[in-house]
Amino acid sequence: MTAPARLTLTLARVGEAADLAAFLGRLIRWDKAAVVRLRSAEGEAALGVFGHPPFGGVLAVRTAALAEGGVGAAVDATVSAGQLLDAVPPPEGGELVLPGSVTGPSWAGLLPPRGGWLRVTEVDGDAVRAAAARVIGEFRTRTEELDEAGRTRAGLDALAEELWARPLPGTGLPLRAVHAAHALGFLRGVEDAVLLSAGPWLRLRTALGSVAVRAAAPASGLTVTPA
């Protein structure tokens, strides 16, 4: 996975740099050594930026819209999130110079497919935010109810797994993905979200970004339409 040396991209609009910086900043807040996978086809008008927030196998996807002409050469690289953040131009505009590639972790080699996504259903934004608030609130309440013996790392991890393995009502999407979308700011102010599937992958897409999870087997019992 390599990218042309010092490939330079131009973001499409005012505000794109700030949105990309906010996404990278959240990833670094959880892991100062975080990396991101970058992917784009030659001539494509967007750069796909994939991250791995600490939510049990959830991948986060943020696309950065590029100026007319898109990328001049295909991009497929894993880079330091911190170095990419440093390279993000100021809000008023400028060029994004991609940093050099680094050795990536195992998740970077298993990304959601580029195409073949099928629309499962649309989900009201308020309902998704409410589901995130409920599960976060329940985690806090039940954590406070644990006695000292139960408030261990193993105990808290088991509680989190119990809660965030539950599906979003009416879907097969685990609530850990909803929690990740909330924490990354992908649910902020959105009116609706779209649930997509591709083989074993489920993806929650909003106007601000996507989160994707890979199930043990392809989702079944779902009515889907082409995305």
Residue 78, Cβ neighbours under 10 Å: how many? 21
- Residue 227: the pLDDT is 42
Range list for CATH 3.10.150 in the chain: 8-109
pLDDT given for residue 216 in this prediction = 55
Q: Which phi and psi (to 5°) does residue 20 adopt? A: -65, -45
Structure tokens at 199: 């083989």
pLDDT value, residue 225: 35
- Please choose, from the candidates 51, 105, 47, 114, the residue with its C-alpha nearest in 3D space to the C-alpha of residue 75: 47
Instruction: Supply the pLDDT for residue 56.
Output: 84
Give Rg (Cα) of the chain.
Answer: 18
pLDDT for the residue numbered 78: 95
- Per-residue pLDDT for the chain (227 aa), expressed as one digit of tens each? 444 456 888 888 878 899 999 999 999 999 999 999 999 988 888 999 999 998 889 999 999 988 877 777 889 999 999 999 999 988 776 788 999 999 989 999 899 998 899 999 999 999 999 999 999 999 999 999 888 877 888 888 888 889 999 999 989 999 999 999 999 999 999 999 999 999 999 999 999 999 999 975 333 333 333 34
What pLDDT does residue 77 have? 92
Task: Work out the angle between the directed axes of helices 153-164 and 175-183 (0-180°, nearest 10).
Answer: 100
pLDDT of 187:
94
Q: Return the CATH number of 8-109, one of 2.60.120, 1.20.1260, 3.30.930, 3.10.150.
A: 3.10.150
Using CA atoms, how far apart are residues 93 and 204, in angstroms rounded to an integer? 30
Give alpha helix (H) positions in 110-186.
125-145, 153-164, 175-183
